[in-house]
Structure 1
Amino acid sequence: MSGETAFQKEDTDTMQWQDEGIVIGVRRHGETSVVAELMTKTRGRHMGLVRGGRSRTMQPVLQPGNRVDAVWRARLDEHLGDYKLEPIHLRAARLMESATAVYGVQAMGALLRLLPERDPHPHLFDALDAILDHMEDPAGAGELYVRFELAVLNDLGFGLDLGECAATGTRERLVYVSPKSGRAVSRDAGAPYADRMLPLPGFLSPEPSEPAGVRELADAFRLSGFFLHRHVYEPRGLQQNAARDGFVQAALKALERRNKPSEPVPSDV
């Protein structure tokens, strides 16, 4: 049954579990097999060998973004193990139709690789699944992607506090984020330091707001990107994944085309 995650002992030498997963990466292994990297619902990012994974039958299943039912087996828990995969939702062909979706799948996979392998993050699985189903809407996909980056930051121990003003405690008119503390700041409290603050897009504040326009979405990408660079990439000596840049530009340009000519893409994103 899909979703079953308890280890099952078929014999004294074999361990097995079953779960749902989303394909985020595949690499060749030998002449006919591949190593599949899945974001599973309850076991986090998990890899396994798919024997015959390069066959005509399996190649369409093993495309990034597809949702699958996975059975994993190994002698020991720490082994790579073997996957047996069955398709649940084959959406890769649709995702390949737009640059936003192609870059988005790659960018989210790169974010998930910042987390320890086999570390459960069920809310990130659900978020990934939801975003992949909304890639045709550049504004909606962009907003969800920023929230995904903020969720990854939070799970890495660097969550932002955007719910109330760091200086006054108010939940109203929050328009800035302190680059030092990662906390929201209200318009009045932050006014004397506005040139040193990061803009807080309305859709990330507690107050109701309209869907993000080009400027708001660009500000949101800068916000999450700033803290990812400071807390994750720079300390680890990593470069930001190029797929993120591709996703940001594709999402903003798609939104600009929809809103044209009122909102051009900012040149500094």
Structure 2
Amino acid sequence: MVLTTRKHGENDVILEVMTADSGRHLGLVRGGRSKRHRPALQPGNELSLTWKARLSDHLGQFQIEPHTARAADLMNSGIGLAAVQHLAALVRLLPERHPYPRIYGALNVVLDHLDASDAAAALMIRFELELLQELGAGLDLTSCAATGTTDDLAYVSPRSARAVSREAGRPYHDKLLPLPSFLLDGQRQAGTELTWQDVTQGFQLTGFFLDRQLGERNITDSGTRTLLTNALEKRYRSEFPWNF
């Protein structure tokens, strides 16, 4: 999947992609700014790639063939445009050239379901949880950190990244992060959309731990997450005004 391109010389580009077998990967595309290649090298598109380099640690060159075109639809949607930028920023937290098949698969699922507001929001939040897992900072939402119960989990501890039950967390609720029920297996009923409160709590939860990762890596927030949540809120207000 195409993440970004940047100009290199007059006619070439450095292409950044997420691949199934080699993870995040960069390479030079000769003539990448030409009329022939430019439409294929848009963020969100899928390509068939061949990479060649004299040494394995060199930038190398990509030979490209278009595979699946998504960019036009993404660019015509406020959510789509924001989502593909945010996904690229998230994937950039992963080291280069390491395979992350679950992340690659999740990217494709998210990009293929951005037309439904509640599905897009839920999938983006779950993608962030999956990314945190790959970064070694995953959340444990299976049982209460204090009692071990699996029932009525309502909070997450910002210190341990573990779920906390409503009863155990009640005395400390102002110090805990809300845990929206849709992130718990089997808690969301079929045919019901997420409320905007569900969405904001989900992004608040993942955002806390992502910000921690950015701080540990001395990385400045790119602002793509704010663009995405603003676009989601705009569509939610249009489609589900009773949620506000």
In 1: Cα distance, 2:66 partner to 2:151 partner: 46
Structure 2 length-normalised TM: 0.96
SS at match of 1:169: coil
- Equivalent position of 1:106 in the other structure: 85
Task: Determine the C-alpha separation between the residues in 1 that align with 2:140 and 2:147.
Answer: 14
Q: Is the 8 A contact 1:68 1:87 kept in 2?
A: yes
Q: For the residues of structure 2 that align with 1:138 and 1:252, how far apart are their CA atoms?
A: 9
Contact 1:201–1:219 (CA under 8 A) maintained in structure 2: yes
1:26 counterpart = 2:8: no
Q: Report the 3-state secondary structure (helix = DSSP H, G, I; strand = E; otherwise coil) of the residue aligned with 2:18.
A: strand
Q: Which amino acid aligns with 1:30?
A: G
Q: Is 2:163 the counterpart of 1:184?
A: yes
Gap runs ≥5 in structure 1: 1-21, 265-269
Q: Does 1:263 align with 2:237?
A: no
| Structure 2 residue ranges without an equivalent (≥5) | none
Letter in 1 for 2:243: E
Do structure 1's residue 170 and structure 2's residue 141 form an aligned pair?
Answer: no
Query: Deviation digits for residues 94-120 of structure 1, max 9, x if unmatched?
Result: 001111110110111011111111111
Q: Give the RMSD, CA atoms, in angstroms.
A: 1.1
- Aligned residue number for residue 216 of structure 1: 198
1:189 deviation in Å? 1.3
Deviation of the 1:172 alpha carbon: 1.6
Would the aligned equivalents of 1:171 and 1:206 in 2 still touch at CA under 8 Å? no
Partner of residue 33, structure 2: 54
Aligned counterparts of 2:171 and 2:186: Cα–Cα separation in 1: 23
Matched, 1:118 2:106: no
How far, CA to CA, are the matches of 1:137 and 1:239 in structure 2? 30
Structure 1 residues 148 and 255, CA gap change in structure 2 (3 angstroms): same
Residue 239 (str. 1) matches residue 220 (str. 2) = yes
Moved >3 Å (runs of 4+): none
Deviation at 1:164, TM superposition (A): 1.1
Q: Sequence identity, in percent?
A: 46
Secondary structure of 2:243's counterpart equals coil
Secondary structure of the corresponding residue to residue 192 of structure 1: helix
Q: Kindly report which structure 2 residues correspond to 1:154-169, keeping only aligned pairs within 5 A, or say none.
A: 154-169=133-148
Counterpart amino acid of residue 239 in structure 2: R
Shift of 1:154: 1.1
| Count of equivalent residues | 241
